[in-house]
Structure 1
Amino acid sequence: MDFTVEYEPTPDQVVDAIERALKHQIKALLWLFPAFLAVAGVVFLLLGTIGLGLGLLVAAAVVPFVMPWSLRRAARKQVPHLCVPTTLHVTDDGYESRSEKLTTSARWSLFSRVVATPDFWLFFVNNQATGFLPRKAFTPEQQAELDARLSPLTSPRKAFAA
Structure 2
Amino acid sequence: MHIRFDVPADPAYPGRVAAALGGVRLRRFLYIGAVLAAVGVIGFAVSRGSAAGERTTGLWTTLVLAGVLSMLFLPWVRWRARRRSGGYAVDGAYEITDDNIMMRSGSESGGIAWDGVTRVKDTSDFWIVYVDRMPATVIPRWLMSAEDAETLRTYMTERGLLAPR
User: Normalised by the shorter chain, which TM-score bucket?
Assistant: 0.7 to 0.9
The amino acid that maps onto 1:58 is L
Tell me the equivalent position of 1:127. 133
The match for 2:162 is: 154
Deviations 1:77-97 (A, max 9, x none): 44433x211122111111111
Partner residue of 2:2?
2
Q: Map 1:82-161; keep pairs closer than 5 Å.
A: 83-151=89-157, 152-155=160-163
Runs of 4+ in 1 over 4 A off after TM superposition: none
Rounded to whole Å, the distance in 2 between the matches of 1:80 and 1:94 is 28
Q: Cα deviation per residue 1:65-123 (whole Å; 9 max; x = unaligned)?
A: 34312233145444433x21112211111111123342111112222111123421111
CA distances 1:22-43 after superposition (whole Å, capped 9, x unpaired): 2233333320233135426738
CA contact 2:92–2:104 (8 Å) conserved in 1: yes
Q: Which amino acid aligns with 1:19?
A: A
TM-score, reference length from structure 2: 0.75
1:65 maps to 2:60: no
Matching residue of 1:12: 12
Q: Which has the larger radius of gyration?
A: 2
The one-letter amino acid paired with 2:33 is F
Aligned equivalents of 1:17 and 1:99: distance in 2? 13
Distance 1:126 1:75, change over 3 A: farther
Contact 2:36 2:63 in 1 (8 A): no
- Kindly tell me: are residues 108 and 148 of structure 1, through their superposed partners in 2, closer, same or farther at Cα, counting changes over 3 Å? same
Structure 1 portions without partners, runs of 5+: none
2:61 corresponds to: 54
Aligned length: 155
RMSD: 2.8
Q: Quickly say closer, same or farther: Cα 1:111–1:80, change in 2 above 3 A.
A: farther
The answer for unaligned runs of 5 or more in structure 2 is none
Residues 34 and 97 (structure 1), Cα distance of their counterparts in 2 relative to 1, 3 Å cut:
same
Could you say if the C-alpha distance between residues 75 and 153 of structure 1 is closer, same or farther in structure 2, counting changes exceeding 3 Å? farther
Contact kept, 8 Å, 2:4 with 2:95, in 1: the verdict is: yes
- Give percent identity, aligned residues only: 23
Report the alpha carbon displacement of residue 62 of structure 1 after superposing the two structures with TM. 4.1
Q: In the alignment, is the contact (CA less than 8 A) between 1:25 and 1:127 conserved in 2?
A: no
Residues of 1 paired with 2:111 and 2:154: CA distance? 20
